[in-house]
Amino acid sequence: MSNTATAPTSSSPATPAPGGGVGAMIARQAIVDGQQSVVGYELFNRSRSQVEHTAASDVLLVFTALSHAGTEELIGKMLLFVNCTHESLSGGHLELVNPDKVVLEIPPLGHAAMEEVQARLPILAALRERGFHLAFNHQVLESAYAPWLPLADFIKLDISLLPPEQLAVLVKYAGRQSQARLIAEKVETAQQFDMVSALGVQLFQGYLFARPTVVQTRLLSPGQASIVQLLNLLRGQASTDAIEEVLKKDAGLAFNLMRLINSASLGLTREITSIRQAVLLLGLKKLFRWAALLLTAARSAGSPPATGQTAVVRGRLMELLANEFMSPEEADQAFVIGVFSMLDQMLGMPQASAVGLLNLPDELSTALLERSNVHGRLLNLVEACESGDDDSFDQAAQALPLTSQQINWAHLQALAWADAITQA
């Protein structure tokens, strides 16, 4: 709806991103209150190879923003304003977000057809009933759109299009006929800010406050064969064990799932610490939608890179060793720690920044970054197994209740498991 960011708000095919994976250029512009505190961000797709704004581009924009594997959180806990097409409003991608934090910017129909306004009313009402906020431009104040007006949480007023006298009339009418909060957009000067503030507008967007900032988004790219296998299992309503097994065999899948499930966008009140927890919490239907979107965003690729393969071996080895003296839940966590121990290499950023993307509980982050708990000591042992350094191996093994026979057998099992995945 907003045209403050002048580049096209469109999608493009996924492009290689720094540090591996795929990504897109996304611009983010702040929406502020009268004290210039940020209350939300509007997203714009800045990828250059396609200019058409479609339902597919809406889906991919939201999904990429939610799953972004970069040092800067695109959304956080602020309101997220997303331009929509009417065709995208029934898209399953909206089920992957916390609706309380999402504002869907609904475009006008381009003509005052009362029949079409009425026909689209049930879809808009259902979205609002689910908890999404709805925003419209000033045309929602026209009589043809009267059925939509009670659904408006925000009305955006483009001050580059509306003369001051018309703006004053619209502000008064909106105050009488709706409960919507008004946003003055394209505010570029202090005089414009003073003018709309005097009219009673309390939210603002424009170059006076912030220009759109562009972020090169990244998704850690899993193997397409793994995604297809996951989709087939989900479509067949396979067991949690079977689904978990596929997720645990691909470091990219595991990272992207944990990234999404622990992001602020889902609004969860507790951190998820294992793949099994993530599967059970998200459920088969949402997991299928997530995997389908991930397949859309992923680039074509061959076998998984060596780094991802090593990460999977680490995860499996840590899981097998943890099973010798830990609970099943702690063994699940050990797998996650092993896989994510190579995030710095997979994402091309410092390990502390990479781990911070996952919002993991302190005990898991401590294991990855400080090695000061039992999972951290287990990770030291797994790395020593890779290095061939006998002194490091002996020192790491002595810190854990494991025999050399247990360690060597588990290592052989983990390598054989990973080899079987590659051959498959």
Q: What is the pLDDT of residues 224-242, one digit of tens each?
A: 678 878 887 887 889 999 9
Per-residue pLDDT band for 3 (boundaries 50, 70, 90) equals very low
Q: What is the mean pLDDT of the chain?
A: 81
pLDDT score, position 422: 60
Q: Both 249 and 342 in a single domain? A: yes
Q: Both 192 and 251 in a single domain? A: no
Domain boundary residue among 182, 216, 250? 216
pLDDT score, position 6: 35
Q: Select, from the ranges 1-5, 21-25, 184-188, 390-394, the one with the highest average predicted confidence (pLDDT).
A: 184-188
| pLDDT digit string, tens, across residues 178-190 | 999 999 999 999 9
Q: Select, from the ranges 96-105, 190-199, 294-303, 330-339, the one with the highest average predicted confidence (pLDDT).
A: 190-199
405 vs 391: CA distance, rounded Å: 17
Q: Both 149 and 258 in a single domain? A: no
pTM for this predicted structure: 0.64
Per-residue pLDDT band for 321 (boundaries 50, 70, 90) equals very high
Per-residue pLDDT band for 304 (boundaries 50, 70, 90) equals very low
pLDDT-wise least confident of 99-108, 292-301, 343-352 = 292-301
Residue 4 has pLDDT above 50, yes or no: no
Q: Both 209 and 280 in a single domain? A: no
If one counts every other C-beta atom within 10 angstroms of the C-beta of residue 202, the result is 13
Domain boundary residue among 165, 187, 216? 216
**Residues spanned by the domain of 398:** 224-423
Q: Both 211 and 282 in a single domain? A: no
Would you say residue 183 lies in a domain? yes
Residue 97 has pLDDT above 90, yes or no: no
Q: Both 257 and 335 in a single domain? A: yes
Q: Both 37 and 151 in a single domain? A: yes
Question: Which are the contacts of 405, defined by CB distance < 8 A and separation ≥ 6?
Answer: none
Q: Both 239 and 351 in a single domain? A: yes
Residue 90 has pLDDT above 60, yes or no: yes
Q: Both 320 and 243 in a single domain? A: yes
Domain boundary residue among 149, 182, 216? 216
Copy the structure tokens of residue 18. Answer: 């720094």
Mean pLDDT, residues 318-330:
93
Q: Both 110 and 240 in a single domain? A: no
324 vs 88: CA distance, rounded Å: 49
Per-residue 3-state assignment (H helix, E strand, C coil) for the chain: CCCCCCCCCECCCCEECCCCCEECEEEEEEEEECCCCEEEEEEEEECCCCCCCCHHHHHHHHHHHHHCCCCCCCCCCCEEEEECCHHHCCCHHHHHCCHHHEEEECCCCCCCCHHHHHHHHHHHHHHHHCCCEEEEEHHHHCHHHCCCHHHCCEEEEECCCCCHHHHHHHHHHHHHHCCCEEEEECCCCHHHHHHHHHCCCCEEECCCCCCCEEEECCECCCCHHHHHHHHHHHHCCCCHHHHHHHHHCCHHHHHHHHHHHCCHHHCCCCCCCCHHHHHHHHHHHHHHHHHHHHHHHCCCCCCCCHHHHHHHHHHHHHHHHHCCCCCHHHHHHHHHHHHHCCHHHHHCCCHHHHHHCCCCCHHHHHHHHCCCCHHHHHHHHHHHHHHCCHHHHHHHHHCCCCCHHHHHHHHHHHHHHHHHHHHC
CATH number at residue 75: 3.20.20.450
CATH number at residue 237: 1.10.3210.10
Mean pLDDT, residues 127-154:
95
